[in-house]
Structure 1
């Protein structure tokens, strides 16, 4: 989990996230997920090259992270000044989205479909070789 320093006064709050300072990579892609129902599971993949930081800037969601070796952790993203760092080669599932959830995703690489592993069994085989 990453904690970002919130700045604010009577006008409201501001959170700054800088690549190679607040997160351990240069940001090369930004996207966000919103409008997902509570029962929807997003992600369901691992990445060979891309690292991510996920921040729920509005609402809440959960992230299940699995290393393919029997270790699994569930994170609750429920504060706009905290995030989760996901290194390469971890399986990720995002789910349990609140109606107002906006999940911001910061990525270390541009999108490349070839580096995604979308089959869980294949992922487990690769990490256990």
Structure 2
């Protein structure tokens, strides 16, 4: 996969409560090397505001909702609203993103293809735009 894409994960409906699962490589197009989550984001705050040079990522709203804004190659942005735990947003390497509009008690799960490497981050938008050219 070479562009951001909304993925739908399997849903098992049960009167006792529903279940969704992920398996690699069926639902996750990379080997998961790191998992982290974002939570307790104060109203009006933004998370992210960076890109990764090599890391691929899937973001899932396990609870609540938030928006993920990505920058497209033409300089425009595209918004993905995550609000169902059976959808995940796949972000290939080189995708600038930030998350905003967090609902109360929003919980975001992040599945990453690499371990944490500070040198993989691009945190400056101008540097990112130069990198993409």
Structure 1 and Structure 2 fold alike (TM over 0.5): yes
Q: How many residues are aligned here?
A: 128
Give the unaligned 5+ runs of structure 1.
none
- Partners of 2:22 and 2:36 in 1: how far apart? 14
Contact kept, 8 Å, 1:64 with 1:75, in 2: the verdict is: yes
Say what the alpha-carbon RMSD is for the aligned residues. Answer: 1.0
Alpha-carbon offset, residue 125 of structure 1: 0.6
Change (3 A) 1:120 1:68: farther
**Following superposition, which runs of at least 4 residues in structure 1 exceed 3 angstroms of deviation?**
none
Give me the TM-score of the superposition, normalised by structure 2. Answer: 0.92
Give the unaligned 5+ runs of structure 2.
1-5
Whether 2:100 is the aligned partner of 1:95: answer: yes
- Partners of 2:113 and 2:75 in 1: how far apart? 26
- Partners of 1:80 and 1:62 in 2: how far apart? 14
Give me the TM-score of the superposition, normalised by structure 1. Answer: 0.95
What's the secondary structure of 1:12's corresponding residue?
Answer: coil
Q: What is residue 33 of structure 2 aligned with on the other side?
A: 28
